[in-house]
Structure formats: structure tokens, C-alpha cells
Amino acid sequence: MRIVITGTSRGIGLELTRQYLARGDTVEAAVRSGSQAAALKHLEASSSGRLRIHTCDVTHDGAVADFARAIERADAAGVDLLINNAGVMGKPTSLEELELADLHAVFEVNAVGPLRVTRALLPLVLKGARRVIVHMTSRMGSIDDNRSGGAYAYRMSKAALNMACRSLAVDLSDRGVTTAVFHPGWVQTDMGGLHAPTPVDVSARALIEQFDALSPEKSGRFWSFEGNELPW
């Protein structure tokens, strides 16, 4: 398979890249900034040309357009799986301390970014054999599941991403595209912290299993890394 992943400098994106390469897939890996790609460059050395590293800040129209062109130039074949993984937490402040500029910035990465990348890469996904697009959301974006409040920027941005995915599923179904949102667990990464219960390799392995098993009837729905359907 040929797989595109955003936010691959560290965390879940880096581990997904590592595991896909290990099983023989080709990965077009995007990093926000070239200077953050040390771990990926290490993987590149042993990838036999199956890892290509691109610079792409998902908040910039120009960078995303360049990314799409670079993927097409690298190989005229389509993209089988697009993984919108890049994300930020923002400052988990109280209502009183919330800075609206921070809320806008988090929205740009978590909600607008995946839609921007999806639209730019859609022609390549349509040329792919599987036509699958997945987005990394969070249980914190579930309105139904919100019992603890707070985290306005993160929760609101992931809820917006969930809605975008649902519209994409409706709009693209007649073009054979399957798309869904996934909660990766509470994972030991810079974002999840050291005390998170799920090691990053366990989350990535389970996610890959779920992505492999994704079928049109699961499109437009909210799934956990363990394959359980989550409430919106």
C-alpha cells in the first residue's frame, strides 16, 4: 500500500510510519518542519526508498498544495490510505483564562488542517486502490462523552473534525471513498504524557488493524483503536 501520514515527527504518526515500513508498505510522511525530522531520517536510511519525507504544515494552503504535488511527482500511482494524524492540544485552561487566539490556532490544526489536506489529496486518493481516509480524533471531541468539561479548544476542534468527517463520508460515498474518525486511546506520547496507559506501539498496531478492516459500512462513524464504536 501507499500511505500518506501527517504529523510524523514524533508520537503516533512516527510509530505508524515505523510499523507500516516494517511490513513493507510505502509511506509519504509529512513533518511540520524539516528540522524536526531526525527520527524519521533514521528510519529513511533503512527503508529501501519506501519512506519519503515531506515538509507540510497543515495550516498553510501553499504547503499543503506543494505536498500534494510532491506526492504526485514522486509516483504517479494513487494513494491507498490517507491518515490525517497531525494535532495539537492547545492550552487546557479554565474558561476565565481561555485565550481565543489559542482556540483559533488549535482549530486551524485539528479541524481545518485535515479538511485542507483531504481536499488537496482527494484526486490522488481517488486514483488509489482502497480510497480510504482516516482522521485522528479524540474521545475528548465526543459531546456525549463529555462529563468533565474544560479543554475548550481541543474538545471543540475535535468535535468539528468529527462533523467534517461525517460530511466527507456522505459527499464522497458515491466516489467510493471510505472515511472515519479514530480515537487512538490515551497514549504515551508528548501529548498524552508519561502516565498514559497505552504505549505508542500498542496504539499504532491496533489502529493499523482497524484501518485494514475499514469497509464502506463503517464510513462516517467514530471508532476507538480497539474497534468499538464511540458516541458522537
Ligand X SMILES: NC(=O)c1ccc[n+]([C@@H]2O[C@H](COP(=O)([O-])OP(=O)(O)OC[C@H]3O[C@@H](n4cnc5c(N)ncnc54)[C@H](OP(=O)(O)O)[C@@H]3O)[C@@H](O)[C@H]2O)c1
Overall size of the chain counted in residues: 232
Binding mask 73-102 for ligand X (x = CB under 6 A): ------------xxxx--------------
11 contributes a contact to ligand X by CB under 6 A: yes
162 contributes a contact to ligand X by CB under 6 A: no
**Total binding residues toward ligand X, as defined by CB under 6 A:** 29
Smallest gap from Cβ 138 to ligand X, in A, equals: 4
When binding is defined by CB under 6 A, the residue of 190, 209, 212, 229 that contacts ligand X is 190
Reduced to 3 states (helix: H, G, I; strand: E, B; else coil), residue 51 is: strand
**47 Cβ neighbours under 8 A, 6+ residues apart:** 21, 27
The piece of 40-48, 117-125, 189-197, 211-219 that touches ligand X (CB under 6 A) is 189-197
When binding is defined by CB under 6 A, the residue of 2, 5, 7, 133 that contacts ligand X is 7
Reduced to 3 states (helix: H, G, I; strand: E, B; else coil), residue 40 is: helix
Please, which of residues 168-187 interact with ligand X by CB under 6 A?
183-184, 186-187
- The three-state DSSP-derived secondary structure of 119-151 is HHHHHHHHHCCCCEEEEECCHHHCCCCCCCCCC
128 contributes a contact to ligand X by CB under 6 A: no
Please, which of residues 209-228 interact with ligand X by CB under 6 A?
none
C-alpha–C-alpha distance, residues 140 and 67, integer Å: 29
Q: In terms of Cα–Cα distance, which of 134, 158, 137, 40 is closest to 81?
A: 134
CB closer to ligand X, 63 vs 98: 63
Packing angle of the helix pair 152-172, 100-107 (nearest 10 deg): 30
Which residues, in sequence order, are bridge partners of residue 53? 29
33 contributes a contact to ligand X by CB under 6 A: yes
In the annotation, is 152 catalytic?
Answer: yes
Q: Which residues are near ligand X by CB under 6 A?
A: 6-7, 9-13, 32-33, 36, 57-59, 85-88, 109, 136, 138, 183-184, 186-187, 189-192, 196
